[in-house]
């Protein structure tokens, strides 16, 4: 029997990266050990291309990755040189913004476009130091937003956005308005491409910590949830879910160890 190719699709903020300081020093050696064992790590995150490149630079290893909540896939050619370096799954941010402006003006007032507010507020919302803010705002496919309306208004906005063919991915710090894509859809495209060139059977591990990771966890072989005190996992209907009692980054290492052991 051919050996499994293990692919880990993982969120970054609050999953691999510490929720407050965005550090992952404590698990860096473990991540490198996994990669040295030919386990493929794929960041699958709301972060931008530039932010993920910063993460890879700190790790010291180039990785295939999915950015802006499933909007684009990069570096598939690292798995097989015959695979493309880039696959775009979303319309660009200019087109997204034009469609967004079709939402009724009274409802748009309940949405803060984070790109257009004071830098001090942006730093507070993203929780990032000033030197990392630019990379977070260099978005090609999604608009970072904060919703300030009530539940009824939120339902109305969600309904209008759906009719316009867009979607909102709700995150912990910031939500993102974008095309009708998500982390799970991007995984399906990713795996289809890999399976076209790699004959080994594939097993997938999905790791997240928040609402916008749920579809990813439900569509991987071994779903893992890192502890997040702001997100209750008790009502999640996800079979064989592996959980951690520790937050990131240690919680990430804990669930991955359990997941890899299951595959053995």
CATH code for the domain of 210: 3.40.50.1000
Q: What mean pLDDT do residues 167-190 have? A: 93
Q: How far apart are CA 144 and CA 22, in angstroms?
A: 19
Cβ contacts of 118 within 8 Å, gap of 6 or more: none
Percent of the residues in the chain that have a pLDDT greater than 70, as a whole number: 99
Buried b (16+ CB within 10 A) or exposed e, 149-182: eeeebbebbeebbeeeebbbbebbbbbbbbbebb
Residue 102 and residue 28 in one domain: no
Identify the domain boundary among 116, 147, 179.
Answer: 179
C-alpha torsion sign, points 97, 103, 106, 107: negative
Above 90 in pLDDT, residue 197?
yes
pLDDT of res. 237: 84
What's the CATH number where 136 sits? 3.30.980.20
47 vs 239, more confident: 47
- Of 40, 13, 72, 6, nearest in space to 261 by CA: 6
Above 60 in pLDDT, residue 1?
no
Q: What mean pLDDT do residues 200-214 have? A: 94
How many structural domains are present in the chain?
Answer: 2
Above 60 in pLDDT, residue 113?
yes
State the pLDDT confidence band at 2, using cuts at 50, 70 and 90. Answer: low
Residue 83 and residue 207 in one domain: yes
The range of the structural domain enclosing residue 171 comes to: 93-179
Give the pairing of strands 111-113 and 72-74.
Answer: unpaired
> Considering the chain, what is the average pLDDT of its residues?
94
């Amino acid at each position: 029997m051919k050996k499994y190719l293990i692919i880990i699709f993982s969120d970054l903020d609050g999953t691999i990266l510490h929720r407050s300081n965005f550090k992952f020093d404590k698990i860096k050696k473990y991540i490198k050990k996994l990669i040295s064992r030919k386990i493929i790590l794929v960041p699958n995150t709301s972060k931008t291309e530039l932010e993920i490149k910063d993460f890879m630079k700190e790790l010291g290893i180039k990785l295939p990755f999915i950015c802006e909540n499933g909007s684009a896939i990069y570096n598939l050619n690292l798995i097989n040189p015959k695979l493309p370096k880039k696959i775009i799954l979303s319309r660009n941010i200019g087109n997204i913004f034009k469609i967004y402006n079709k939402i009724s003006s009274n409802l748009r007032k309940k949405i803060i476009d984070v790109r257009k507010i004071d830098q001090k507020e942006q730093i507070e919302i993203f929780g990032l130091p000033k030197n990392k803010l630019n990379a977070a705002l260099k978005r090609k496919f999604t608009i970072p937003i904060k919703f300030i309306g009530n539940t009824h208004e939120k339902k109305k906005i969600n309904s209008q956005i759906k009719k316009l063919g867009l979607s909102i991915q709700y995150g912990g710090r910031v939500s993102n308005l974008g095309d009708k894509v998500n982390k799970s859809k991007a995984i399906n495209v990713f795996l289809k491409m890999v399976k076209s060139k790699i004959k080994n059977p594939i097993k997938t591990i999905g790791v997240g910590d928040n609402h916008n990771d749920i579809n990813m966890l439900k569509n991987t072989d071994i779903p893992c949830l890192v502890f997040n005190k702001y997100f209750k996992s008790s009502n999640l209907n996800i079979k064989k879910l592996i959980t951690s009692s520790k937050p990131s980054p240690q919680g990430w290492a804990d669930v991955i160890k359990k997941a890899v052991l299951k595959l053995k």
